[in-house]
Amino acid sequence: DAGVIQSPRHEVTEMGQEVTLRCKPISGHNSLFWYRQTMMRGLELLIYFNNNVPIDDSGMPEDRFSAKMPNASFSTLKIQPSEPRDSAVYFCASSALAGGQTQYFGPGTRLLVL
């Protein structure tokens, strides 16, 4: 079975541009998580969804960040406008409520904002 799929794997953009990161969770998983990883701050949870509903977005750094999950098999994380400090690796993870809270991570999107 396919794991969590993220696209793009790498993104280079200029400050002020809109960036959209995409995630397809593992089929049958009920929860989806967006994380950001940087050297300075480590792994940070940005937002998570249960059954497509956002449960906690307290980790979203500011209004420039937004996330949606229109259906069980797709989620987006959007940054508009992007800034150089948004440069990081963004991970999507999914878990099954019956799966003991184990989160399975995608390969990540490496974002560089110039």
Partner 1 sequence: AQKVTQAQTEISVVEKEDVTLDCVYETRDTTYYLFWYKQPPSGELVFLIRRNSFDEQNEISGRYSWNFQKSTSSFNFTITASQVVDSAVYFCALSPNTNAGKSTFGDGTTLTVKP
Q: Which of 16, 55, 85, 114 binds partner 1 (CB under 8 A)?
A: 55
Q: Which positions ≥6 away from 81 have C-beta within 8 Å? A: 15, 16, 17, 18, 64
Q: For partner 1, which stretch binds (CB under 8 A), given 12-20, 44-52, 67-75, 77-85?
A: 44-52
Site string for partner 1, 12-41 (x = CB under 8 A): -------------------x-x--------
Q: Is 93 in the site for partner 1 (CB under 8 A)?
A: yes
Q: Is 50 in the site for partner 1 (CB under 8 A)?
A: yes
The answer to whether 111 and 21 are in contact (CB under 8 A) is: yes
Token output for 84: 């150089």
Burial of 43 (0-12, 13-18, 19+ CB in 10 A): exposed
| Cis peptide upstream of residue 81 (ω within 30 degrees of 0) | yes
Q: Name the site residues for partner 1 (rule: CB under 8 A).
A: 31, 33, 42-43, 45, 48, 50, 55-56, 89, 91, 93, 95, 100-108, 110
